[in-house]
Amino acid sequence: MKLTMASSPHNHSQKSVSKLMITVMCACIPGILTQAYFFGFGVLIQLIIAIITASLVEAAILKLRNRPILPSLSDGSAWLTAVLLAVSIPSLAPWWVIVVGIVFAIGMVKQLYGGLGFNLFNPAMGAYVLLLISFPVQMTSWMPVDHLLASPISFLDQLTIIFTQTNSTGLTLDTLRTSIDGTTMATPLDTVKTAVSQNLTVSEAMNQLQFSAYAGLGWQWVNVAYLIGGLYLLKAKVINWHIPTAFIGALALCSAIGYIADSGSQAGSLFHLLSGATMLGAFFIATDPVSACTTDKGRLIFGASIGVLVYVIRQFGGYPDAVAFAVLLLNMAVPLIDHYTQPRTYGHGASK
């Protein structure tokens, strides 16, 4: 019997890496469909562009490295990166935004380190941060919920906007983002953050059209949909419970303490849990088997630390959402966390 050394991801199920990746992508379907329902079919267009670009970039780099293309491409890791990045950017962002992001994610964050199993950082989140810092206007042009728009945007208009930045009648994205009350809406997280900086209370900020009782319209259901997909991954034993539970628990605890301390300037736990990329980050991003911790104790520390950082950056940082930054910062700490949380070797310390 021949023993071989292999890089992560390691799993104890009978599923191959490709089946695991396909399962994760399938679990994203409820969230993707919910996003498309509330924010338009642009997310599906971005998804197609991302998958095609990821396939081409992965194949090109494998060719340059003299590696077999089909086996590596068919493992599905490049497609999963494309899916996660596509659902993380505004649905009507210019086509070149997702192309630049995918080229960086696959070419730099993944393949530069040696391919699947060797990357130190989550490729999708590495690309997201690059795009957010480099193209802040395009990356923050999120659409309000469809029924709040001053005029509806057809599928053809969405396709035209993505490739030309104007619709068939020449209207720009900024004009089309105008809501029925004549204002250009920001995301719920950004709206609350801006309002608090202007000495308004959280309740005053949430007394606007794009909010429900608990969080932003559309966004809360997107998070619920990704939660459902995440629970399916837990049931299928594709991911472990440690990271998402610690992530969600730490974020809920920190936001609850903040709300109790100052309910005027800090939102409650439900708002944080149902806003932004919370559930997508907890179940689909932070649980990346390559860039996350490998020990059970380490996973708890890793997930809880991400949850704390998400709260701190949302509350005190310069960006309204913080999942990508928190995940990348903890990716750097993974070797240290794993080193100090290794299980004791059987028989260690026994008397001779």
In-domain check, residue 241: yes
Q: Is residue 128 located within the same domain as residue 221? A: no
Enter the pTM of the model.
Answer: 0.89
Confidence of residue 121 (pLDDT cuts 50, 70, 90): very high
In-domain check, residue 7: no
Confidence of residue 3 (pLDDT cuts 50, 70, 90): very low
Q: Is residue 132 located within the same domain as residue 217? A: no
Rounded to whole angstroms, the Cα distance separating 96 from 102 reads 10
Higher per-residue confidence, 63 vs 345: 63
The residues pairing with 184 across neighbouring beta strands, listed in sequence order, are 178
Angle between helix axes 42-64 and 77-86 (nearest 10 degrees) is 140
Structural domains counted in the chain: 2
pLDDT per residue as tens digits for the range 179-194: 544 455 678 888 888 8
* Alpha-carbon distances of 254 from 206, 291, 312, rounded to whole Å: 20, 25, 9
In-domain check, residue 324: yes
The 10 Å CB-count burial string (b at 16+, else e) for 137-174 is ebbebbbbbeebbeeebeeebbbbbbeeeebeeeeebe
Tokens of 280: 């997508």
Q: Is residue 108 located within the same domain as residue 160? A: yes
Q: Is residue 177 located within the same domain as residue 193? A: no
Q: Is residue 260 located within the same domain as residue 327? A: yes
Higher per-residue confidence, 67 vs 149: 67
Question: What percentage of residues in the chain have a pLDDT greater than 90?
Answer: 58
Which of 167, 185, 203 is where one domain is finished?
A: 185
* 9: preceding bond cis by omega (within 30 degrees): yes
In-domain check, residue 318: yes
- The answer to whether 65 and 108 have CB atoms below 8 angstroms apart is no
Which of 185, 215, 230 is where one domain is finished?
A: 185
The answer to which of 74-88, 102-116, 161-175, 322-336 has the lowest mean pLDDT is 161-175
SS (H, E, C) 138-150: HHCCCCCCHHHEC
The predicted pLDDT at position 179 comes to 58
Which of 164, 185, 206 is where one domain is finished?
A: 185
pLDDT per residue as tens digits for the range 56-72: 999 999 999 888 888 87
Q: Given a cut of 80, is residue 168 above it in pLDDT?
A: no
Q: Is residue 162 located within the same domain as residue 292? A: no
Q: Is residue 41 located within the same domain as residue 145? A: yes
In-domain check, residue 352: no
CA 148 to chain centre: 25
pLDDT per residue as tens digits for the range 199-230: 888 888 888 877 887 888 889 999 999 999 99
Number of residues in the chain: 352
The predicted pLDDT at position 103 comes to 97
In-domain check, residue 3: no
Q: Is residue 94 located within the same domain as residue 237? A: no
> Domain range for residue 242?
186-341
Q: Is residue 129 located within the same domain as residue 221? A: no
Q: Is residue 166 located within the same domain as residue 36? A: yes
Confidence of residue 313 (pLDDT cuts 50, 70, 90): very high
Q: How much is the average pLDDT of 47-51?
A: 97
The predicted pLDDT at position 143 comes to 82
Q: Give the chain's mean pLDDT.
A: 87
Confidence of residue 352 (pLDDT cuts 50, 70, 90): very low
Rounded to whole angstroms, the Cα distance separating 230 from 239 reads 9
The predicted pLDDT at position 211 comes to 83
pLDDT per residue as tens digits for the range 73-107: 888 899 999 999 999 999 999 999 999 999 999 99
Rounded to whole angstroms, the Cα distance separating 101 from 122 reads 13
Q: Is residue 206 located within the same domain as residue 234? A: yes
Q: Is residue 133 located within the same domain as residue 38? A: yes
In-domain check, residue 351: no
In-domain check, residue 135: yes
